[in-house]
Amino acid sequence: MKHIFVLGGTGFVGRHVVQKLVKQGCTVTVATRRARHARELQILPGVTVLEVDVHQQQALQQALAGHDAVINLVAILHGNEAAFQRTHVDLPATLARAAVAAGVHRVVHVSALGVNPAQPDAAPSRYLRSKARGELVLRHPELAVAVLRPSVIFGAEDKFLNLFAALQKVFPFMPLAGAQARFQPVWVEDVAAAVVQLLHVRIAAGSTAAWEATGSKVYTLAELVHGAGAWAGVANGRGRPVLPLPDWAGRLQAALMQLAPGEPMMSADNLDSMKVDNVASGRFLGLADLGLVPAALEPIARDYLQRNQPGYGLLGVRRGSKR
């Protein structure tokens, strides 16, 4: 497959996916609302940035014509019921109809770990319920759909470990809701590699197959938060103490965070999502089945969290230049 259409190509995962597609010699069309969001992608050979409203079926259908496959990476972590519905359910439904009409029969869709399309309403959060419904609406007799369900994704531009490391440079301790929630973090490069691999896996028309993308080790949220500070060198590498909050206090904290301007660091819906362990279930294929060995979190996180620290030095610059 040489001509690939990407929704969400300007995002955290999307930029890595596009770069890998280019290295494989693919021509790539990146759909975006504003071309300026894709400036760093426009310089890549074989990449076309197209301003299009992907929520409009006719416009999306026209844009998809002539492509071999489409990758959907569009997602949100925060929002009300309508926002989750529009992004995680309505958009995949529109994409399915547009792809069939345009003659594009291969879809790679990035979902989320913990999603259960067999019982979408049983999920504890709006996020997980909408993600499950999004997988369901992609099912069509003419589509071969590969679904990737990653755990929390880490990488140099992430808004996860970077955020917790930054907070520990300011606060003497970390009050934390959902401290015992379990995650199996996966590197963004491994997720991107899996997405590209799924373009080539054999799937029959009318079928949907799912893979889980997880890292090599399970952590509690408390371990990840403390680790982020320690790996960033906060308090001489000790990190800040983590203070687990009871559920009621965590929900109060989340409610206050949602009142702040901009995207919240934590919401009540995030806490609800953490009721489901974000770890491999063992019931689905994984990265190993795609020929991928997941990278360990700590050495990579330590590298990028310290990269902008005083004293990181020329060695760090050289390491970064080799990536």
pLDDT tens readout for residues 43-53: 899 999 999 99
How many CA within 13 A on the CB side of residue 297? 23
pLDDT of residue 315: 42
The answer to whether the beta carbons of residues 192 and 20 sit under 8 Å apart is yes
Give CA–CA dist 306/300, Å, rounded: 10
Whole-number mean pLDDT of the chain? 92
pLDDT of residue 128: 97
Q: What is the CATH number of the domain that holds 95?
A: 3.40.50.720
Residue 143, domain member (yes or no):
yes
Whether residue 1 is predicted with pLDDT greater than 80 in this model: the reply is no
pLDDT of residue 265: 77
pLDDT of residue 118: 92
Share of the chain above pLDDT 70, in %: 94
pLDDT tens readout for residues 81-132: 999 999 999 999 999 999 999 999 999 999 999 999 999 999 999 999 999 9
Share of the chain above pLDDT 90, in %: 83
Q: What's the mean pLDDT in 256-267? A: 75
pLDDT of residue 260: 67
Residue 172, domain member (yes or no):
no
Closest CA relative to residue 283, chosen from 72, 139, 117: 117
- Which domain does 70 fall in, by range? 3-155+187-213
Residue 303, domain member (yes or no):
no
Q: What angle do CA 138, 142, 143 make, to 5 degrees?
A: 40
Residue 45, domain member (yes or no):
yes
Name beta bridge partners: 174.
242
Whether residue 257 is predicted with pLDDT greater than 80 in this model: the reply is no
pLDDT of residue 310: 53
Residue 288, domain member (yes or no):
no
Residue 167, domain member (yes or no):
no
Residue 133, domain member (yes or no):
yes
Instruction: Give me the helices (H) in 103-144, please.
Output: 126-137
DSSP states of 71-88: EE----SS--HHHHIIII
pLDDT of residue 267: 87
Residue 151 identity: S
Residue 105, domain member (yes or no):
yes
pLDDT of residue 4: 97
Q: Binning pLDDT at 50, 70 and 90, where does residue 308 land?
A: low
Number of domains into which the chain is organized: 1
Neighbours of 296 (CB within 10 A): 13
Q: What's the mean pLDDT in 204-209? A: 94
Q: C-alpha distances in angstroms, 37 versus 11, 15, 60, 306?
A: 9, 11, 19, 27
Strands 47-51 and 144-150: unpaired
**Residue 70, both tokens:** 């489409």
Q: What is this structure's pTM?
A: 0.92
